[in-house]
Amino acid sequence: MATSAVQATPTGSGREVAVRIGAQVLVETLRRLGVTAIFGHPGGAALPIYDALYDARDIAHVLVRHEQVAAHAAVGYARATGRVGVCLATSGPGATNLVTGLTDAYMDSIPVVAITAQVPTAVIGRDAFQEADIIGLTLPITKHSYLVRDPADLPAALTEAFAVAASGRPGPVVVDVPRDVSQTPLAATRGEPAPSRRAGPRAPHAGQIAAAAALLRDARRPVIYAGGGVISAGASVELTRLVDQTGVPVTVTLMGKGAIDEHHPRCLGMLGMHGTVCANYAVDAADVVLAVGVRFDDRVTGRLRDFAPQARFIHIDIDPAEIGKNKPAHVPIVADARAALGALADALPDPLPLEAWWRQLEEWQARYPLRYRQGDDVIKPQFVCETLARLTGDRAVVVTDVGQHQMWAAQFCRPRAPRTFISSGGLGAMGFGFPAALGAQVARPDATVVALVGDGGFQMTMQDLITAVEWRLPVKVVVLNNGSLGMVRQWQEFFYRQRYSHVFLRNPDFARLAEVFGAQGRSVRRPDEVEAALAWMLAVPDGPCVLDVHVDPQENCLPMIPSGQSVKEMILG
Amino acid sequence: MASAAPTPQPGTAAATATANGGGGGPRTLGVLVEMRAAVLERVAGLLRRRGYPVRELVLGRTEEPHLARLFVVLEEGASGEQVAKNLNKLVDVRRVADLSAQPTVVRELALIKVDVTPGTRQEVLLAARVFRARVVDMGERTLTLEVSGRPEKVDALYRLLRRYGVRELVRSGPLALVRGPQST
């Protein structure tokens, strides 16, 4: 392949000199779009693309050991930076292995572009070797997708894919590239894609802002319910300004963690199924709820009709279809969260008279703190999370897997900045944590990235420890090891009369396993060793390390509002 | 003959009021889409996975080769607004209009094959004339009618013919355009 000719080709001059093949155009387009890292795995149909990547020294291709990791890593990359994450897989099994990660990106509105190779156009639809209809497979879990049939369309398709993924409500986009399309020489591309007809960030309607301001001004018990949309809109500054000016309390969703500094005195922490008592009581008693960048997920609301039953709702969302989906909004504001919160802060420059409300909130905070009892013999998982938060000053990038540890992390880690708490919210995909941490560490090489995982979820994707070793990515893996699928065990205990069906795990020695992979590893079994072990881990200079923390296998995650119920049915700690 | 027609004629107030019964009745959404690969799949898949109660889905070409018009008829009681907002999120969707809320011309084509006997043939032919249906096939035991008009008109003719025995029926589903200069 004429790879040397490519370097000699003047790009962007309008005059095409050398003949390039589709794959080279694809790689050039990725470079022009500012892509510096791709998570991927090669295979037959992807060979032309990989051949073109051979020369792309400025694009780091992280070879993962399973495409699921590529997709989760792309999500981690995107969530740590706000930039579009990119994953690459071959046709058939390569592409299908991306599906879990893409679904995660769809549920959590994360901008990801998945480039999948496809069998040659001539055999598409004939059940060719390693053929899968990836467009069809991903239709319900992508914002959009492209099957590129002509190499001249590659730049436009990719450019549009990146724009679609990142604009409006972000989400995943698939670009499927048949092998012959990436192999075909082409003299010229179709030039720049037409400017997108999709509008930029929407400005809020002035009348609705005034209505929202009036509602808040008259409120006696207002609460802000802030979600992931605040983070993706980059609206943390505006949210904080609004809170500082008005004194309205804020509660965050799992996706909204870090939307405001959770050490802020007006922040009540997380709400929902495993949220703080105060946050849930506050919403329950609220007369006005300002919902911003949230989708009234059932893990937050419980039984819908009992969610904030006395409240009038102001709902800010970039996606009109979210408004009224689960709960009707009295003041709907379809807009970019940053613009809307900024306008609202301008309209409400003074503190609101909320002294009585805060007296009530502080009483709840004092009466119902998150609690656990750390004794001398077994390690409480909450103690590990709390100690980690203290040692890092809540400034590390914490990436969790899914399960009990995820909720303990959500309760005890109080991130100070957006994009420093990353978790699989909507899909709840076990196996997400470690790969997403890999992606976050690639995106932010200088940051301390901690993957807080359970023993169950870690085993779903831990093979990629070797990838971290290979790239010397200093991801710090903390395994909260309780020898079971803890959240499932908890539900079986509470709701299935302790019939513990297939929930206990025989685990490998994670510390020794890390060493086999070439990473550093340590095990901890006693409470008095926890702090030193965490400090050791945080000090490991380069390369990954695994801290296997054997925690109390009986511990449950509380408080808890059982699925489909309300605050009234909350199980306290 | 027109005066005897059981359904209002085009151009009368009743016919122009709504596409199919505004308020509680089934709603029709007119969706202008880019005619690209998988566009029908995207729309149908969205409607299916959200569980919207779709009665009919009709796709037709338009004056622009790269655009198509899609008509989504929802069962009674469905929220056209949520469906419209979700359809609007699809990249290939240009515009969504709730046609139930504005004056439209709505037409549907149907072919109806009716059993006839020497005794009922004249009655069926009379019904066809009243409904301005054309006879497109005539045999010893069956008669096939072509009728076009508002869906209610097709319904009415079908109800009338059922007593003779409708052997087969095929309907196109509705096509619609907003009246006057404004686009659909």
A140/B45 Cβ within 8 A: yes
Q: Is pLDDT larger for residue A308 or for residue A201?
A: A308
Find the CB nearest B82 among A143, A169, A325. Answer: A325
Dist CA A433 CA A86 (whole Å): 17
Question: Å from B46 to nearest chain A CA?
Answer: 7
| Residue A99: how many other CB atoms lie within 10 Å | 18
Task: Return the percentage of chain A with pLDDT > 90, whole number.
Answer: 93
Residue A295 CA: distances (Å) to CA of A229, A323, A402, B36: 9, 8, 20, 30
- Chain B neighbors of A193, CB-CB under 8 A: none
Quote the pLDDT of residue A194: 59
Q: Which of A106, A135, A139 is the mutation pick for testing B, counting most B CBs within 10 A?
A: A139
Residue labelled with tokens 């420890």: A465
Name the E strands within B116-181. 134-138, 142-149, 166-171, 175-178
Provide the number of CB pairs (under 8 Å) joining chain A to chain B: 34
DSSP annotation of A83 reads S
Dist CA A548 CA A551 (whole Å): 9
A135/B91 Cβ within 8 A: no
Dist CA B137 CA B117 (whole Å): 15
Q: How far is CA A433 from the centre of its chain?
A: 10
Q: Per residue in B150-170, is it b (16+ CB within 10 Å) or e — as a string?
A: bbbbbebbbebbeebebeeee
Dist CA B153 CA B130 (whole Å): 11
Quote the pLDDT of residue B184: 87
Residue A319 CA: distances (Å) to CA of A74, A166, A168, A294: 23, 13, 7, 10
Q: Is pLDDT larger for residue A398 or for residue A2?
A: A398
Q: Are A467 and A438 in contact (CB under 8 A)?
A: yes
- Chain B neighbors of A169, CB-CB under 8 A: 89
DSSP annotation of A56 reads -
- When pLDDT is cut at 50, 70 and 90, the band that residue A195 belongs to is low
Q: What is the CA radius of gyration of chain A?
A: 25
Is the N-terminal amide bond of A559 cis, ω within 30° of 0? Answer: yes
B85/A321 Cβ within 8 A: yes
Question: Å from B87 to nearest chain A CA?
Answer: 9
B82/A321 Cβ within 8 A: yes
The secondary structure element, H or E, covering residue B42 is helix B39-49
* Vertex A443: Cα angle to A336 and A318 (nearest 5): 10
- Chain A neighbors of B37, CB-CB under 8 A: 135, 147
Q: What mean pLDDT, rounded, does chain A reach?
A: 95
Three-class SS of residue A328? coil
- Chain B neighbors of A323, CB-CB under 8 A: 85
- For A11, half-sphere exposure in the C-beta direction (CA atoms, 13 angstrom radius) is 14
Dist CA A166 CA A421 (whole Å): 20
pLDDT tens for the 184 residues of chain B, in order? 333 333 333 333 333 333 344 445 689 999 999 999 899 999 999 999 999 999 999 999 999 999 999 999 999 888 899 999 999 999 999 999 999 889 999 999 999 999 999 999 999 999 999 999 999 999 999 999 999 999 999 999 999 999 999 999 999 999 999 999 988 8
* Vertex B101: Cα angle to A334 and B6 (nearest 5): 165
pLDDT at A6 over 70: no
Question: Å from A162 to nearest chain B CA?
Answer: 13
Quote the pLDDT of residue B77: 83
Question: Å from A320 to nearest chain B CA?
Answer: 6
CA-based diameter of chain A, in Å? Answer: 74
pLDDT at A1 over 70: no
- Chain B neighbors of A139, CB-CB under 8 A: 38, 41-42, 45
Residues of B with CB under 8 A from a CB of A: 37-38, 41-42, 45-46, 49, 81-82, 85-86, 88-92
Dist CA A282 CA A415 (whole Å): 21
- Report residue A548: phi and psi, to 5°: -95, 105
CA-closest candidate to residue A160, choices A187, A209, A197, A205 = A197
One-letter amino acid of A206? A
pLDDT at A399 over 70: yes
Find the CB nearest A164 among B42, B49, B91. Answer: B91
Length of chain B: 184
The interface pTM score, or ipTM, of the predicted complex is 0.89
- Report residue B148: phi and psi, to 5°: -135, 150
pLDDT tens across A211-244, in order? Answer: 999 999 999 999 999 999 999 999 999 999 999 9
pLDDT at A8 over 60: no
Dist CA A110 CA A422 (whole Å): 11
Tell me, yes or no, if A194 comes closer than 8 A to chain B by beta carbon: no
pLDDT tens across A156-179, in order? Answer: 999 999 999 999 999 999 999 999
Q: Is pLDDT larger for residue A18 or for residue A141?
A: A141
pLDDT tens across A420-434, in order? Answer: 999 999 999 999 999
One-letter amino acid of A145? S
One-letter amino acid of B1? M
Length of chain A: 573
Quote the pLDDT of residue A4: 39
pTM confidence score: 0.93
pLDDT tens across A105-142, in order? Answer: 999 999 999 999 999 999 999 999 999 999 999 999 99
Quote the pLDDT of residue B4: 37
Residue labelled with tokens 């889409």: B33
- Report residue A36: phi and psi, to 5°: -120, -10
Dist CA B147 CA B126 (whole Å): 14
The secondary structure element, H or E, covering residue A435 is helix A433-443
Quote the pLDDT of residue B10: 35
A321/B38 Cβ within 8 A: no
B37/A135 Cβ within 8 A: yes
Quote the pLDDT of residue A196: 58
Over residues A81-108, mean pLDDT? 98
B91/A198 Cβ within 8 A: yes
Task: Return the percentage of chain A with pLDDT > 70, whole number.
Answer: 95
Dist CA A502 CA A489 (whole Å): 9
Task: Give the relative orientation of helices A206-218 and A337-347 as an angle to the nearest 10 degrees.
Answer: 60
